Amino acid sequence: MKLPIKKILLYGGLVLLGIVVIFLVCKIMLNLGSLATGLRGVLSSLRAILLGAVMAYLLYPLTRFAEQYLLYHNVKKKTARGLSTAFATLVLLAVLALFIAVIVPELLQNLPELIRSLPGMIQRSFDQLSAFLESHGQDAGMLIDISNRITTTFTNWLQDDPLSTLMDLVTRMVDVARSLLNFAIGIIVMVYLLMSRDQFVGQGKKLLFALVKKRSTCDTILRHLRAINQIFSGFVSGKLLDSLIIGILCSIVLSILNIPYTMLISVIVGITNIIPVFGPFFGAIPSALLLLLTDPGKCLVFIIFIIILQQVDGNIIGPKILGDSTGLSAFWVLFALLLFNHLMGFWGMLLGVPLFASFYYLLREFINARLRKKNLPVATTEYIHIMGIDDNGTVSYADPQVINFRPLIRGEDSLLAQLRQWLAHPTLRKKSIPPQENPQDHEDSPDDPT
């Protein structure tokens, strides 16, 4: 049987394509290090674009509000778009300028003094602890040795080779210059994305409707994308606002309490508060250690204040700002933080909760859709006491197990009444045995018919 030339060419092309795919897979598997290096290089070159996209995403609500306000006052759409974008850009630059004007002088004033006095503070703390141990008859030789090693290492680091210090300074200056350049390019990208956001959204939807065959599938995808966008925007913007409020409250109260390094500690607490659950600990622990070396009394006051502040944030400020933006319980928030911290490190702790919330939302929608097709209930509470579902769709429920408790003190059936009865009649503890009949008495009985 002869094969047509078209089938021969088709089979030959498939075999050739398979060989090329296998070759590429083997080449990738044998050069994973080079591939990772190449991906890092691509991401590094696109860092400015990614930064601009993130800033545009964060400033989009403010831009949209300003644009709608201008349109309400009969401003032309193109003019409103430009003015709203310029307003959002000015707000971003003003926040950065305020941060630099307030924080940087405080850091420049406190950090050099802190670095110079840190070895002495460590030495004094170890000396006090050693004296305390020796006064109670304990050996403090190990603490003294550890203190000397830490002080020597830190002093050697401060008095390092001037040439290496100069080279390190030059490297850091180059990194700072590169970061400033990326930020400037990111601002330009942000402005372009905000000005042309309608065009990008239209291109994305156009591509979706061109690739997907069913229109109902496109509608479903768009609906899910809107929900995921709401999860991300609500969580990220709400968490940033919450952290800003916490940082301002912390700086005000610490200034009133006359806590040293007020601005430095407030910045640490505010920035680390962006991380859910673990963020307050990440900010409080180093700050408390710094105050412990400086003034132990102030350290205790700071710890008490941080506990109160975090309770206020977790129970009042946070729920008012964030609400139920993620739809996750406390267990799944903790699970997402641990999982994405292992997968993505620091960025996983920042973005792990909205990422897992998006996955959780999609999985929940998939499961609910499958249940609706089977005419089954969707609410989770309906499945708590279900025993089974037959082929006809009839649901059988099990009665919840109930423990019958007795009153402790009052009532005739209480445990105290039973105890009194047991003490008054000890013979009731034994099981009553019915008396056995005596055969002889049975024979002597006059009623015996025999």
Q: How many CA atoms lie within 13 A of 447 on its CB side?
A: 2
- Widest CA span in the chain: 129
Q: Where are the beta strands (DSSP E) in 357-405?
A: 386-389, 395-397
Summarised one tens digit per residue, pLDDT across range 283-304 is 888 888 778 777 778 888 888 9
H-state helical runs in 214-329:
215-256, 262-272, 279-294, 296-312, 318-322
The confidence score (pLDDT) of residue 379 equals: 82
pLDDT band of 79, cuts 50, 70, 90: very high
Summarised one tens digit per residue, pLDDT across range 340-382 is 888 877 778 888 888 888 898 889 888 988 888 888 888 887 7
Please check the confidence at residue 432 and state whether its pLDDT lies above 50.
no
Q: Which of 6-15, 94-103, 117-126 has the lowest mean pLDDT?
A: 117-126
Using CA atoms of 53, 55, 58, 63 in order, give the dihedral in degrees to the nearest 10: -100
* Dist CA 441 CA 350 (whole Å): 93
Among 57, 382, 85, 100, smallest CA distance to 240 is for: 57
> Can you give the pTM of this predicted structure?
0.66
Cα 304 to its chain centre, rounded Å, is: 24
pLDDT band of 66, cuts 50, 70, 90: very high
The confidence score (pLDDT) of residue 450 equals: 42
Range with top average pLDDT, 159-173, 214-228, 378-392 = 214-228
Phi-psi region of 308 (alpha: psi -120 to 50; beta: other; left: phi over 0): alpha
Total Cβ atoms within 10 A of residue 48: 20
